Chains A and B, each alone.
Chain A
Amino acid sequence: MTPPAPGRLKIYLGYAAGVGKTYQMLTDAQDLKRQGHDIVIGYFEPHGRADTIARTEGLETIPRRRVEYRGTVFEEMDTDAILARHPEICVVDEFPHTNVPGSARTKRWEDVTTLLEAGIGVLTTMNIQHLESLNDQVWQISGVRVRETIPDWVVKQADQVVMVDVTPGALVNRLLRGVVYSQEKSQKALENFFQESTLGALRELAMRQTAHESESHHADADQAEAECAAAMQSGALHAGTGPAPQPATSPSGRIERILILVTADPSSAMVIRRAKRVADYLHADCMAVAIQRPTGGNKVAAEEREAIERHLNFARNLHVDARLLDAETGGDDPAKALVEFARLNGVTQIFLARPRGTGFAGMFRGSVEQRIVWLSRDMQVTIVADRTRAA
């Protein structure tokens, strides 16, 4: 049996609560229903906003699933019920939501993927601050470390990303009038996320990201067209026999390939996000390695290994090829092992964290990072900034 054609995904992208994402999505849903499409609401978060609630009128809603967790009842989207009902299009609010433990899938975006795979089209909403590759920058801008993130490749799968825009001034007004949050919550919101400069910066990020999504969308289309034309010319008309997508090349004509050094240090996450973002924009290959140091079975080493494994998995979740390398290749010298690996794999650029803890020892031996810069004189090395926020 052939699987159904995947459903189309449309994302309404905003930069804060209250910009009108859900309102816009429901307005479009009403239009689609009028045009005769079979559309249901899979999940809707009313937030007590009257005009948004009014927009759901006349739309069929699939009841939520009630889940008990540690004595509290939570309500989640009932993905199975939606699959059974099998509408043409489903409205799913709050794309970055994390499900209650014990759910079939950890993240709502995974539920959405399930719906898409079943051939159901999905309309959904998210804010720019939930995009994984911008996590550090959002922290720098807003002082808020967003926990619920969506990998960039998930957003890239959308057929359409539409920006829902209002000015920060109008948003703050809505907040003050109590449209977005209750009075008490508003006050708190105004103190951090809703400062006008923070909103302006997030808004700019959302605009640039939407432009980027739009660009890569038509760049992909161009490429498909060119490949199709090339295939027609060569007489190969079957799908899949066209040339593979051309990876980016550096000015010297080499294929651009980025290598990330993963360590046990928490800054690894920052380096992975940044390197992957740069690789995506440059259409470059991206891989990550950690160097395994041959140590005995002591506790520190075990903890270190665990952290490294966690960081490698994080990279894999972002669709970065990640692996553990034995330091023996470099004769117990992690810097040498990394640089040799890079040379063997045609890497053009290495991404590292900023060296830490330069004390007497650091001065004397030089940090691993410094040694890598020194050893890899034939490649570009990027030292990723600590995008921290001054208190």
Chain B
Amino acid sequence: MTPVTRRRTPEELLLQVQAEEAQSNRGRLKIFLGYASGVGKSFRMLDEGRRRAERGQDVVVGAIQLPPTPDVEALLKRLEAIPLRTADGVNTMDVAAVLKRMPRVCIVDGLAWDNPPGSMNRSRWQDVRQLLDAGIAVIASINIQYIAELQGPVEKITGKHVTQTVPQSFLYEADEIVVVDAPPEMCFGHSGKGVAGDPGRLAHQLSELREIALLFAADVVDHQLESYLKQNGVAASFGTQERILVCITPRTSAKAMIESGKRNADRFHGELIAAHVRQGNMGEEAKEALNRNLEMARDAGAQVEILEGDDPIEAILEFARERGVTQVFVGHGQDSKWWHRWTGGPVGRLMRGAQGIDVRVFPQ
């Protein structure tokens, strides 16, 4: 890492102060994330509750999925539970009772549950937000199949549509997120939700769901890491996530570069960015070629950025450092003058200047 300490703007400082203030009154949210039922989320969540209770914290159980497995049941016996409320013949968490009891920590399972009509909040995750606002810490668990933004890929795997979901932004609000991982075979006994079929197919589906869960968690951690570094005024990147920057000009053989960039980004589950440094007096033909190239990048799912700067190489390098880019893709075309054979030309300068970033030069 090359830590570049930069001065924070007043806006950034204000945001930080506000974030810290909100933090100090709000209860902390910890979420156990699993990819299927049966991986042991409930157990991990309650076990954490038990350990905290043993350390003297005031812990209650707000809601738990039923029926419990034997090991979960054993843990439940050791914790105080707030009785569920019944409305319309449906059992649901009694938010008012929890708020009245005002524990330090509350355990809440099944974040995606919809409350019966007439409840204070539509969904349980909104109940949790209310508890957090009241200063109660919450330990919760969720199966990735119930995260709204993951519905597309999850449905493709399981073939099932889930109606009750939690927005991804709520998981990003969590102070801590923990992956509960287990090999797919472990979940066979509990395959009730979402997956069906012969064991081979089942194992395959579970393994794909597992991958989604791990990558989702990695993204959350990456996000947390970034805000932690920003809060501490460090503009730096650890390169834990691959970020590929494709440099676009009117002349570059953009197609090969973008296709390769997309393949690399997909394989590494990384980000694809395409950037062009604006240059003065460009002919009509060049403008058209450039727009075509940028459109191609957008179609490939790249974030497209237009950069300003007198020196294109400096502009690219500065942008790459700021965004934590790990690989820069650049076309060979830019260094075609005969003397560049010795000096390296712009590509040579990029090579020498790109500290901590791989540079991939593409044929023209």
| Chain A interface (Cβ < 8 Å from any Cβ of B) | 10, 137, 140-141, 160, 162-167, 169-170, 196-197, 200-201, 203-205, 207-208, 210-211, 214-215, 217-218, 221-222, 250-252, 274, 278, 281-282, 349, 354-355, 358, 363-366, 369-370, 373-374, 376-390
- Let me know if B179 and A165 touch, CB within 8 A: yes
Question: In the complex, what distance in Å separates the CA atom of A370 from the CA atom of B352?
Answer: 10
Known interface pairs A384-B358, A390-B2. Does A211 touch B342 (Cβ–Cβ under 8 Å)?
no
Residues in chain B near residue A217, CB distance under 8 A: 207
Report the bound CA distance from A218 to B210 in whole Å.
11
> Complex: how many Å from CA A383 to CA B357?
9
A/B interface sample: 24 pairs, CB < 8 A: A162-B183, A165-B181, A167-B178, A170-B176, A200-B225, A204-B222, A207-B217, A208-B215, A211-B211, A211-B269, A214-B207, A217-B207, A250-B260, A251-B263, A252-B256, A274-B358, A354-B352, A364-B342, A366-B343, A366-B344, A373-B348, A380-B360, A385-B357, A387-B239
Q: How far is the CA of A163 from the CA of B39 in the complex (A)?
A: 12
Contact (Cβ within 8 A) B178 A373: no
A-B contact sample (20 more), CB < 8 A, given A167-B176, A167-B178, A251-B255:
A162-B183, A170-B176, A197-B228, A203-B221, A204-B218, A204-B238, A207-B215, A217-B207, A252-B256, A355-B351, A365-B342, A366-B343, A370-B342, A370-B351, A373-B351, A373-B361, A374-B341, A382-B361, A383-B361, A387-B356
A37 to chain B, nearest CB (A): 14
Report Cα–Cα, A390/B327, bound state, in Å: 19
Q: Which residue of B lies closest to A278 (CB)?
A: B264
Say yes or no: A167 contacts B361, CB within 8 Å.
Answer: no
Closest-by-CB residue of B relative to A356 is B352
CA distance A254 to B215 in the complex (A): 30
Determine if B361 and A207 form an interchain contact, defined as CB atoms under 8 angstroms apart: no
Name the residue of chain A whose CB is nearest to the CB of B260. Answer: A251
Please, which residue of chain A has its CB at the minimum distance from the CB of B258?
A251
Q: Are A204 and B355 in contact (CB under 8 A)?
A: no
Among residues of B, the one whose C-beta sits closest to the C-beta of A164 is B181
> Are the C-beta atoms of B208 and A218 separated by less than 8 Å?
yes
Closest beta carbon of chain A to B205's beta carbon, Å: 9
Cβ-defined contact, B222 with A386, below 8 A: no
How many angstroms from the CA of A281 to the CA of B327 in the assembled complex?
15
Q: Chain B residues near A385 (CB, 8 Å)?
A: 354-359
Given contacts A165-B180, A281-B268, A383-B358, contact A208 B241 (CB under 8 A): yes
Q: Which of B216-260 contact A (CB under 8 A)?
A: 217-218, 221-222, 224-225, 228-229, 232, 238-241, 255-256, 259-260
